[in-house]
A = this chain, B = another copy of it.
């Protein structure tokens, strides 16, 4: 049997046919066209899946299920996207819509949780009884897994770890609060700080790295500058890692997982990021009496996490 996973993003809809082990056999994507009506977007999504099935020469009977990873608020039971502000979706009955085209079970899950499922079944959290997966992207996504289950809370909206205030009256967050972890440790926040520094310290290597065009600063720029020995780059990276370590230490004190997996673009820095993080977290986490500490590792499923995790939703309970 094969699983189909769909990563319903603000820019593109990515879909893939995935095997039992979480390996992607076929994948493709289409632009989301997020300003369009939800019916049009969902129709494109179905056409994309059908195209993949044709390529793979699969019938509905070969497909165990279709899973969709979406940000926002979901009704998993009824298969409804209650609210996805990014796409302007309100109460979209996506299960019904898909089943009109392809009569297989359809599952829905939060996008950060899909990344967690991908890492748990096919990535760096394989075999861990308790795992927390932190996806660092536009925001900070959290997924908490234990005993092969996701923690989603009473209303399905739990594990919003990025929306934990770590700095009272701190930086503005998209959620309306001030000082959320996301407002410091997301890629967006790192880019904001890098741009600020580029303006304040035009002599640093940052502007040079982006050819003088500050709009080209991305989440890698400060790390690149630091690698070149640039003082400002080193300072930005150190401050970024310091606050990330604070948030991760909170996660340890709250969840005490066997493993914390860091995903998203920033995680590609690998040990560059993880070595200082581990060092800083040592003194900030709560291990009375030599209790076993959480391992901190980088995600393995990369850009495909969304597809793989969505495909494998039914593998959890």
Contact = CB atoms under 8 A, between A and B. Distances in A.
A185 to B, nearest CB: 12
A72 B166 contact: no
Nearest to A81: B289
Interface string A70-107: 00110000000011010000100000000000000000
Interface stretch (A156-164, A223-231, A305-313): A156-164
A170 interface: yes
Nearest to A161: B254
A50 B165 CA distance: 48
Contact of A289 (B72, B159, B160, B176): B72
Given A166-B168, A176-B283, A249-B177, A289 B254 contact: no
Interface string A267-295: 00000000000000001101111011010
Interface stretch (A5-13, A14-22, A28-36, A255-263): A255-263
B288 A82 contact: yes
Contact of A130 (B154, B176, B250): B154
Contacts of A258: 154
A257 B154 contact: yes
Contacts of A165: 166, 246, 249-250, 284
A158 B254 contact: yes
A155 interface: yes
B153 A130 contact: yes
Contacts of A191: none
Interface residues of A, number: 50
A129 interface: yes
A254 B164 contact: yes
A234 interface: no
Given A165-B249, A166-B165, A167-B168, A288 B255 contact: no
Contacts of A286: 157, 160, 163, 175
A253 interface: yes
Interface of A: 72-73, 82-83, 85, 90, 129-130, 142, 146, 151-161, 163-168, 170, 175-177, 243, 246, 249-250, 253-258, 283-284, 286-289, 291-292, 294
28 contacts: A72-B288, A72-B289, A83-B288, A90-B289, A130-B154, A152-B256, A153-B257, A154-B294, A155-B287, A155-B292, A156-B291, A157-B286, A157-B288, A160-B254, A160-B286, A161-B253, A161-B254, A163-B250, A164-B254, A165-B246, A165-B249, A166-B168, A168-B243, A168-B246, A175-B286, A176-B284, A177-B249, A177-B284
Instruction: Pick the 5 closest A-B CB pairs, nearest first.
Output: A153-B256, A83-B289, A73-B289, A73-B288, A158-B256
